[in-house]
Structure 1
């Protein structure tokens, strides 16, 4: 049985806040740049008591079971856009899967709706929340698998908001947080397809002002960039979170690890990719089966389909990924599944490499690059040759997740990644002296920090 306690600025509540902060909160927020300070939380409760928030509001709710804090949420009501923002909602590991999260969410949403009715005499229009982006690279291990978290919030009715959200630094000693996504749940029927961009911009503006204490949000470079992006559209599209991470059951994915599935994958490979200089022999796939950083997947439309209609082969390199072959045929072709397959691939890469620059793909000169550009891939303007045989080929790069700007890929990073490609993908014994790397190095700017040119 879980009960909820909303904290005030009374001494007993502040002591409970400190106990929660020193234990559950610090554990659940391993990235110090994402943590609000205890002093700020206590100060906000005191300000609320003095009426500083006006028609806005601030809530800290603790969930208790047998006297112990097992859950918590912090949320803000913002009167100008008539929206709520959930700063975080967390459940102790021992209580996950018990329904405590859904109960705490319902309680938090109810408090925000009460705020709206008190301020405007009408219901709340929408609720937004910050969440670690499951398709963004991070230098720190998350406290919960980010794909699992995304699927939980999906079941709770939230969707990703498709714009480049960045949390500004919470203090002079902290950095902006770039691995977040803003998710939302519209509560108005006319916002079911998209939330009006001015409402999202107003919510972010007021959130920075009242929750982050940024007195002039318009002076924040992060907010200005977000406002510029939001100003280009009337409505912010909503991304179903299960589809965003490639887990919406539109295809059946199987690792081709056993002999039968590997044979089925090779049959599909032979039927899809005609033999030629840009394809590899099946012996290369057999060699890669022993590489723990290689993945070979087959895809079917349904689990009952006898043979696969899709294929994905890719490698996890030390700081990047490399997509060898991606194919969608038969019932999977022209079904809008490439983005979901790539999302599935990226979440797998991120589970292996928390710090991931992005991934590369080789594209034959006569292959249409439009589907890849639609995903956010950029073609690098470099002299690149596939090593076996020595074949000029186009090299694509994509940063993980949503892509809103060209990649800032340095020459040093590209050379390091291609060295890893030669070693891991093509089994080149001495990659630094190989013609592919030497030709690439000679054609790039001398400065290791120079950005790789794009086509």
Structure 2
């Protein structure tokens, strides 16, 4: 299996049709035209996994340069290919490549909260998905997270978890003896407002959760 970065609009269209559309509910996926625009503008970074010419999966990262945050917007394996090591190879390869190229201070991801979302054969098991990320060092940020609306007429998606996948230790407010990361809230809040503005086309009057404390404790899984 070969994991590679791509800036090809044709590759993105194939990823969208063969991997993303079958893997995500409508409200958790932006339109292809939006993703194509982000790719052209340099804000979307795409990594694909292929084997014998077949597309096995893809990872899409949305880069917020002013905030220095990289959002793993989507990571999915082609239908029928879950559990074969493709997702792990994609996650490890994509995050390593993006950290080397972009040097984000924080890499985050959104996943469905297993306590809220039951999952389905088409869209996968939220419990297994969370374990997958936690085995690779992801930590849940204690935020009652709601995904912004990603498409015109779409709805915000409550009941998601915001994960910290990687962090630059020089940007942390501290590290506790058990390895807990103390994530400073102000730059995270700046990123979330930028994300909502980018996704929904206007700045949010407020974020859909209570004010956060000065730091968030991101504990090992």
- Provide TM-score, normalisation by structure 1: 0.43
Whether 1:229 and 2:211 are equivalent positions in the alignment is yes
Task: Give the deviation of 1:206 after TM superposition.
Answer: 2.3
CA-to-aligned-CA distance 1:63-117 (integer Å, 9 cap, x gap):
111111111111122223322110011123544333322221122213322343x
Contact 2:144 2:159 in 1 (8 A): no
CA-to-aligned-CA distance 1:149-172 (integer Å, 9 cap, x gap):
111100111011111111121233
Structure 1 segments, 4+ long, off by >6 Å, are: none
Contact 1:197 1:235 in 2 (8 A): yes
More strand, by proportion? 2
Larger radius of gyration: 1
Whether 1:6 and 2:6 are equivalent positions in the alignment is yes
Contact 2:3 2:90 in 1 (8 A): no
Q: Distance in 2 between matches of 1:111 and 1:207?
A: 22
Whether 1:28 and 2:57 are equivalent positions in the alignment is no
CA-to-aligned-CA distance 1:128-186 (integer Å, 9 cap, x gap):
10111111146x73621111111110011101111111112123311110121111134
Residue number among 37, 40, 44 corresponding to 2:34 in the alignment: 40
Q: Distance in 1 between matches of 2:2 and 2:134?
A: 23
- Report the RMSD for the aligned CA atoms in angstroms: 2.3
Aligned residue for 2:218, secondary structure, equals strand
Task: Give the deviation of 1:59 after TM superposition.
Answer: 0.5
Q: Distance in 1 between matches of 2:164 and 2:150?
A: 22
Match of 1:193 in 2: 181
Whether 1:102 and 2:88 are equivalent positions in the alignment is yes
Q: Distance in 2 between matches of 1:198 and 1:236?
A: 10
Contact 1:76 1:112 in 2 (8 A): no
Q: Distance in 1 between matches of 2:152 and 2:82?
A: 35
The higher-RCO structure (CA 8 Å, 6+ apart) is 2
Please list, as runs of the form range in 1=range in 2, the aligned pairs for 1:109-148 lying within 5 A after superposition: 109-116=95-102, 123-137=103-117, 141=120, 143-148=123-128
Aligned residue for 2:204, secondary structure, equals helix
Contact 1:162 1:239 in 2 (8 A): no
Aligned residue for 1:87, secondary structure, equals strand
Whether 1:87 and 2:67 are equivalent positions in the alignment is no
Match of 2:49 in 1: 63
Match of 1:19 in 2: 14
Residue number among 150, 172, 176 corresponding to 2:152 in the alignment: 172
Aligned residue for 1:69, secondary structure, equals strand
Q: Distance in 2 between matches of 1:124 and 1:18?
A: 26
More helix, by proportion? 1
Give the gaps of 5 or more residues in structure 2: none
Change (3 A) 1:21 1:156: same
Match of 1:153 in 2: 133
Aligned residue for 1:81, secondary structure, equals coil
Contact 2:31 2:151 in 1 (8 A): no
